[in-house]
Structure 1
């Protein structure tokens, strides 16, 4: 057997031994996101590094949680690591002089620059209305992890900037371990809100769950073409431990910069990390209360001139307020005393007015009771004539008795009204059909007039309901029509026109006649109490009607039409029943 065959096993052993003796480069990858585009680009970058260092170094790559990666860095078991900028800052801050070095920064394809690539987006159900961050206070929140600085940490800084304590801002915060679980918690209703990385919605647009959620408290920013609820921070960092070989750092950086773009992701250098420092400062969890106090003191020092000026103004204000308050109290006591005296005078005046009204209404008893008494007399006379002629029937008797009873009731209601004034009783108002009152008044007048007068009534189509005392309203309507009838009864063909309409939410009852034309002076005199143009008139009808109109929040007016005839118009407000009819 040739000697070469004996050498082959020895050569294999040597090769294996040589490979195992290569220096080891340990790279730790923080499990930041499950976005395939991120993962694919980072995987390609690590493969390129392995290929570049092949034969010179043995590259070991580990995917670690934030806590695992931190422990390995602290125990010097990691040479290089890929993490979010907040994790990198935390490691650097805790390492003191032996801090890690930032070699490269990942440039997000949606970002204008790598400095503003990462942040947090608050999500809610799509059915919720858009709200500001302050309006979200008191709701429940789901987050991936308490150490998720890029999204949850960035949100806590925004809350801190509102001068709120992040620990107590939300009703509760649940840490679920993954962004998928955060989204599911919001969709299922277990949490009101969730916090996920900026651009997560846009990069998972094929996920049907994205159609069920929406961003909340969105900031107006142009540096990143994604919805964000927080400030934006530096993207992923490729960092070297403090004792990494500078020559090897150079090789790895060159390889990272040469890595072809994948879905727009590229490695670059530089980037401002100052926003990260501000975030880290605000997120020193053990110092929340201390930070609040120090921030307050800092603001007090900066604003001390303005605060002193404000305090001075406040003192002057209180002095002025105290003086004014004393003056107001003094004036109030005087006004209360004056008001009591005024009320007393008003009460005395009202009593005097009631006496005057009672006197006026008492005077009208002969004026108004004349009408029902005349009707009763007419019916009695008719009954006598029918009895003498032998034509009295049961039907005629019943009809006469019924009409006499109605007139007695009307007279009784007038007397009761006078007594109600004397007893300080208010009118019993209720929804009343004005059309029915007008028709009843016309019927009564036609039954009592010896001279036949044509009364033309043009009602409106709508139902006209007013809030009125039925007796008072009937008294007013009856007086207006009766005056018109009496004004034209000497004419060859006496005619009275009555109309009812609705204008601007009010009932309009108008009466005109073809009687003599009145001079303007006579029209003005109509409004005066005790003035009358009739031989046996008392001049009380129109004042009574006017008082009734005012008491019902209405008005009584006197005008002339195109022919010069007098037009008397009573306007009364409609009730809701009439408006909705």
Structure 2
């Protein structure tokens, strides 16, 4: 009756932000400590074993035992080195050097790199946009993000009878979207929120870097990278959507 009334509410969000930051730090430290201890514990244990074998065996040292111990130490040390390098790559990701790039041409180049590794085991379908699509991106970074998604898709479906990966391009509302699909085993809904976390992997030999790095690259471009919810009757089991 008295006309339009406007209300302005001010909420202090500093406490919430601080709590979120503290939780993120705890999560990161937990991941780092877990991965480092997974490598250091066997290294320390086997180093002690090797030392004892040398001390007790002398010239009559059983070579298979010491060889196995040293080989395991080397493997775990290499694994730890790989982990640290992956963490460094995430931490040192440079700002993108933006320049106009033909998206269809970029996808063709990425296809050639992918097929050099997977041509004999996985089929890649390329669904390009019918018109020329030009995006301002860092070509090298986006290519790396795409390869990470494609390799992830290939690893997910290579055990299937007819493993297939598809890359499609959509243009809506002035933005280009790249969709990477595969017909692998699918993604457990319970882990959808975890797959982009650094060093979190649900594969036997995964290091948890590929998807996390891909997302960091896309976010650095002001875009987004997420997982689509697919229909039950869809021939595809997983689909990643990269919006640039």
Provide the TM-score with structure 2 as the length reference.
Answer: 0.58
Deviations 1:286-308 (A, max 9, x none): xxxxxxxxxxxxxxxxxxxxxxx
User: Counterparts of 1:426 and 1:486 in 2: how far apart (Å)?
Assistant: 29
Superposition RMSD on alpha carbons, in Å?
Answer: 2.7
> In 1, are the aligned partners of 2:103 and 2:134 still within 8 Å (CA)?
yes
Deviations 1:253-295 (A, max 9, x none): xxxxxxxxxxxxxxxxxxxxxxxxxxxxxxxxxxxxxxxxxxx
Shift of residue 502, structure 1, vs aligned partner = 0.3
Shift of residue 547, structure 1, vs aligned partner = 0.9
> In 2, are the aligned partners of 1:508 and 1:571 still within 8 Å (CA)?
yes
> In 2, are the aligned partners of 1:497 and 1:513 still within 8 Å (CA)?
yes
* Residue 570 (str. 1) matches residue 242 (str. 2): yes
Residue of 202, 207, 211 corresponding to 1:533: 202
Q: Aligned with 1:524: secondary structure?
A: coil
Q: Aligned with 2:160: secondary structure?
A: coil
- Sort the Cα spacing of 1:491 and 1:550 in 2 relative to 1 into closer, same or farther, 3 A: same
Structure scoring higher RCO (CA < 8 A, sep ≥ 6) equals 2
Q: Aligned with 1:525: secondary structure?
A: coil
* Residue 449 (str. 1) matches residue 121 (str. 2): no
- Number of residues of Structure 1 aligned to a counterpart in Structure 2: 157
Name the residue aligned to 1:490.
159
Shift of residue 452, structure 1, vs aligned partner = 2.1
- Sort the Cα spacing of 1:510 and 1:532 in 2 relative to 1 into closer, same or farther, 3 A: same
Name the residue aligned to 2:213.
544
User: Counterparts of 1:552 and 1:526 in 2: how far apart (Å)?
Assistant: 20
* Residue 512 (str. 1) matches residue 184 (str. 2): no
Deviations 1:345-377 (A, max 9, x none): xxxxxxxxxxx9xxx9xxxxxxxxxxxxxxxxx
Q: Aligned with 2:208: secondary structure?
A: coil
User: Counterparts of 1:501 and 1:427 in 2: how far apart (Å)?
Assistant: 22
> In 2, are the aligned partners of 1:434 and 1:466 still within 8 Å (CA)?
yes
User: Counterparts of 1:475 and 1:495 in 2: how far apart (Å)?
Assistant: 20
Name the residue aligned to 1:38.
none
Name the residue aligned to 1:557.
226
> In 2, are the aligned partners of 1:446 and 1:452 still within 8 Å (CA)?
no
Shift of residue 482, structure 1, vs aligned partner = 1.3
> In 1, are the aligned partners of 2:95 and 2:220 still within 8 Å (CA)?
no
> In 1, are the aligned partners of 2:96 and 2:221 still within 8 Å (CA)?
no
- Sort the Cα spacing of 1:426 and 1:516 in 2 relative to 1 into closer, same or farther, 3 A: closer
Shift of residue 513, structure 1, vs aligned partner = 0.8
Residue of 128, 133, 136 corresponding to 1:467: 136
Q: Aligned with 1:518: secondary structure?
A: coil
Deviations 1:187-217 (A, max 9, x none): xxxxxxxxxxxxxxxxxxxxxxxxxxxxxxx
> In 1, are the aligned partners of 2:218 and 2:225 still within 8 Å (CA)?
yes
User: Counterparts of 1:467 and 1:433 in 2: how far apart (Å)?
Assistant: 9
Q: Aligned with 2:194: secondary structure?
A: helix
Name the residue aligned to 2:78.
none
User: Counterparts of 1:503 and 1:562 in 2: how far apart (Å)?
Assistant: 21
Q: Aligned with 2:193: secondary structure?
A: helix
> In 2, are the aligned partners of 1:451 and 1:489 still within 8 Å (CA)?
no
Shift of residue 560, structure 1, vs aligned partner = 2.6
Deviations 1:478-527 (A, max 9, x none): 11111111110000110112101101110010011110122211222212
Greater C-alpha Rg: 1
Runs of 4+ deviating beyond 3 Å? none
User: Counterparts of 2:124 and 2:96 in 1: how far apart (Å)?
Assistant: 30
Correspondences of 1:250-269 after superposition (within 5 Å): none
User: Counterparts of 2:186 and 2:214 in 1: how far apart (Å)?
Assistant: 22
> In 2, are the aligned partners of 1:442 and 1:481 still within 8 Å (CA)?
no
> In 1, are the aligned partners of 2:118 and 2:154 still within 8 Å (CA)?
no
User: Counterparts of 2:146 and 2:95 in 1: how far apart (Å)?
Assistant: 20
Provide the TM-score with structure 1 as the length reference.
Answer: 0.25
Residue of 182, 190, 214 corresponding to 1:521: 190
> In 1, are the aligned partners of 2:170 and 2:177 still within 8 Å (CA)?
yes
> In 1, are the aligned partners of 2:122 and 2:154 still within 8 Å (CA)?
yes
Shift of residue 451, structure 1, vs aligned partner = 4.0
Deviations 1:173-193 (A, max 9, x none): xxxxxxxxxxxxxxxxxxxxx
Shift of residue 450, structure 1, vs aligned partner = 6.8
User: Counterparts of 2:144 and 2:107 in 1: how far apart (Å)?
Assistant: 10
